[in-house]
């Protein structure tokens, strides 16, 4: 484990493989941590890649540098954190791969700073940039029911519940979101340590309130949020991975899944896989990254 000052954070991260090899940044979601990529990173480093696997803000050993910094979980903050990490590590370009919150960070950088991205692996919905201004209309009841935890976090009771029962609540989400994944107690406990970061609850609560327009964002990210509000297209080469058993949301129709990708893109549906694609299907995830690296190599010749 290493640490580096990047933007407003002291980021804890794993740096695996040859430092001169093509860089892959592997980004976890909520409520997960870098352990989601243990097998993926092994496969990629064996194939000659360098893997950077950070703890996101509010997780594990990552810390805010200034106690006064707002503990924002908004999408612009996640994208800014990723860009700052790339700058701190002197990475002019990398393949960005993630799911859930991590996929959102990867999509933000891919959309707004495409010159920094060799390729994007993003799990369903693929285009993981929130349309906050136009996303407040209720969905169908079965879709709304899947989002119970988000509405729970909107109130003081949900914040207290996450504070008091963070491990039990997150374990429940793992089970609901990946109903066919038989994870072990050891796998969950290895990740659950990351939820005891002192900023975990505040960052999580802000994330699920901000996306519904219930709280303001950190003013330092206002320009980024304004850019994201325009729902920019993603032009970098991309792979979308879609678990057919994802308990957060069922796979989108193909046309909807691809509509905001204007560059080379393919979508892979993964049978028997839920929300945590890299940990449930590490070989498929690693192959998606390697396919993008191959495409990048051909483009550079």
Give the pLDDT confidence of 227-263 residue by residue, as tens digits. Answer: 999 999 999 999 999 999 999 998 999 999 999 999 9
* Per-residue tokens: 248: 């957060």
Query: What are the structural domains, with CATH classification, of the chain?
Result: 2-300 (3.40.50.1820)
* pLDDT per position as a tens digit, 169-213: 999 999 999 999 999 999 999 999 999 999 999 999 999 999 999
Cα–Cα distance for residue pair 243/124, rounded to 1 Å: 7
**Closest C-alpha among 64, 3, 50, 41 to residue 22:** 50
Question: For residue 53, what is the DSSP state?
Answer: E
Q: Is the pTM of this model over 0.85?
A: yes
The full 3-state SS of 139-200, as one line of letters, equals: CCHHHHHHCHHHHHCCCHHHHHHHHHCHHHHHHHHHHHHCCCCCCCHHHHHHHHHHHHCCCH
Q: What is the mean pLDDT of the chain?
A: 97
Helix-then-strand count for the chain, H and E:
13, 9
Cα–Cα distance for residue pair 203/214, rounded to 1 Å: 14
Phi-psi region of 107 (alpha: psi -120 to 50; beta: other; left: phi over 0): alpha
Whether 301 has a pLDDT exceeding 60, the answer reads no
Rounded to 5 degrees, φ, ψ at 11 are -90, 130
């Amino acid at each position: 484990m290493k640490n580096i000052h990047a933007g407003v954070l002291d980021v804890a991260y794993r740096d695996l493989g040859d430092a001169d090899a093509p860089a892959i940044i592997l980004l976890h979601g909520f409520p997960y941590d870098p352990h989601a990529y243990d097998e993926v990173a092994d496969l990629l480093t064996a194939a000659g890649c360098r893997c950077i696997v950070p703890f996101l803000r509010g997780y594990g050993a990552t810390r805010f540098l200034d106690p006064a910094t707002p503990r924002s979980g908004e999408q612009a903050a996640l994208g800014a954190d990723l860009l700052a990490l790339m700058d701190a590590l002197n990475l002019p370009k990398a393949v960005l791969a993630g799911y859930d919150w991590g996929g959102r960070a990867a999509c933000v950088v891919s959309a707004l700073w495409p010159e920094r991205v060799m390729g994007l692996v993003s799990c369903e919905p693929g285009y993981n940039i929130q349309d906050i201004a136009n996303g407040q209309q209720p969905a169908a009841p079965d879709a709304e029911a899947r989002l119970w935890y988000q509405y729970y976090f909107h109130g003081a009771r949900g914040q207290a519940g996450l504070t008091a029962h963070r491990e039990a609540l997150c374990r429940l989400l793992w089970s609901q979101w990946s109903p066919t994944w038989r994870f072990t107690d050891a796998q969950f406990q290895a990740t659950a340590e990351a939820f005891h970061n002192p900023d975990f609850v505040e960052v999580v609560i802000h994330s699920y309130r901000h996306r519904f327009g219930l709280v303001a964002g950190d003013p330092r990210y206002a320009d980024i949020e304004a850019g994201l509000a325009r729902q920019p297209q993603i032009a970098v080469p991309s792979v979308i991975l879609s678990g057919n058993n994802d308990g957060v949301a069922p796979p989108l129709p193909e046309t909807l899944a691809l509509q905001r990708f204007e560059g080379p893109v393919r979508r892979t549906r993964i049978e028997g896989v839920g929300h945590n694609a890299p940990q449930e299907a590490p070989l498929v995830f690693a192959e998606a990254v390697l396919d993008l690296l191959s495409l990048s190599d051909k483009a550079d010749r």
